[in-house]
């Protein structure tokens, strides 16, 4: 009898810990900013394509993330339109998580809105700055 009660207690505690872990993982994902509808512009100021080895093609020139940031910063310094950037799939390369992460970091640093096109759908890349 004592073994059955102890077994139930252990299962109940394990279930509670699991529920807390799931809740902690989902914290902050359903904020108003994340659930807001995407406002697609009629055209994009800059169009990038995903290239191999975590590079980007900008005006048919392959760029590393550092070079892309410098090119977009130069464009911003020259007062050229720099409000919206679209990342598309390359001919031989899919858009990967590292492409999206890199573009999100550059977008936050330079203050533009980034979008990604996958399977004929365009989604906004929304990044938040982590509080220390």
User: What is the per-residue pLDDT across 20-53, written as a single tens digit (0 to 9) for each?
Assistant: 656 666 555 555 555 566 678 889 999 999 998 8
The model carries a pTM of 0.69
The secondary structure of 44-102 as a DSSP string is -SEEEEEETTTEEEETTEEE-HHHHHHHHHHHHHTT---SEEEEE--SS-PPPHHHHHH
Considering only residues 101 and 19, tell me which one the structure prediction assigns the higher pLDDT.
101
The least confident of 20-29, 63-72, 76-85 is 20-29
**How is the chain split into domains, by residue range?**
41-125
Q: Are 89 and 116 spatial neighbours (Cβ–Cβ below 8 Å)? A: no
Taking each helix axis as running N to C, give the angle between helix 97-110 and helix 65-77, from 0 to 180 degrees, rounded to the nearest 10.
Answer: 30
SS3 assignment, position 16: helix
How far apart, in whole angstroms, are the C-alpha atoms of residue 7 and residue 75?
65
């Amino acid at each position: 009898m004592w073994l059955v009660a102890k077994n139930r207690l252990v299962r109940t505690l394990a279930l509670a810990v699991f529920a807390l872990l799931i809740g902690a993982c989902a914290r902050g994902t359903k904020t108003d900013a994340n659930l807001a509808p995407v406002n697609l512009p009629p055209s994009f100021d800059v169009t990038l394509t995903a290239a191999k080895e975590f590079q980007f093609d900008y005006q048919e020139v392959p760029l590393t993330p550092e070079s892309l940031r410098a090119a977009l910063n130069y464009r911003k310094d020259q007062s050229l339109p720099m409000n919206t950037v679209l990342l598309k799939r390359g001919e031989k390369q899919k858009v990967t998580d590292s492409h999206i992460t890199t573009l999100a970091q550059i977008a936050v640093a330079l203050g533009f809105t980034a979008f990604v096109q996958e399977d004929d759908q365009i989604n906004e890349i929304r990044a938040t700055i982590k509080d220390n």
